[in-house]
Structures are given as C-alpha cells and as structure tokens.
Amino acid sequence: MNQLYEIKLAMQILQLDKLRDELYEELMKTMGSKGHELLRKLQNA
C-alpha cells in the first residue's frame, strides 16, 4: 500500500471514532442507562 492511502484510512477511522462518540453521547442523553443496554442487546443479536 502507499503511504497516502494508509494516512487517508487512518483519518477515516479517527472521523468514525469521533462520530461514534457523538452518537453514543446522544443515545445516552435520550435513553440514559437504557441506551447502553440497547446497544448490548443489538450487538449480541
């Protein structure tokens, strides 16, 4: 792989990680601790 491609991939991962954190925070605001339970249930489905 070339270095530019690898850098772009790494930057996309960081952007997705930030988005995940923002979405998780929103879920916790709207559902409280039940949001975490919902995520676990969906992950294990």
Domain ranges of the chain: 3-43
Does pLDDT of 1 surpass 70? Answer: no
Does pLDDT of 41 surpass 90? Answer: yes
Side-chain half-sphere of 6: how many Cα atoms within 13 Å?
A: 3
**Average pLDDT of the chain?**
95
pLDDT at 11: 98
The structure's pTM equals 0.78
The arithmetic mean of pLDDT across residues 10-27, rounded, is 98
Give residue 7's pLDDT band: very low, low, confident or very high (50, 70, 90). Answer: very high
Side-chain half-sphere of 43: how many Cα atoms within 13 Å?
A: 6
Contacts of 33 (CB under 8 A, 6+ apart): none
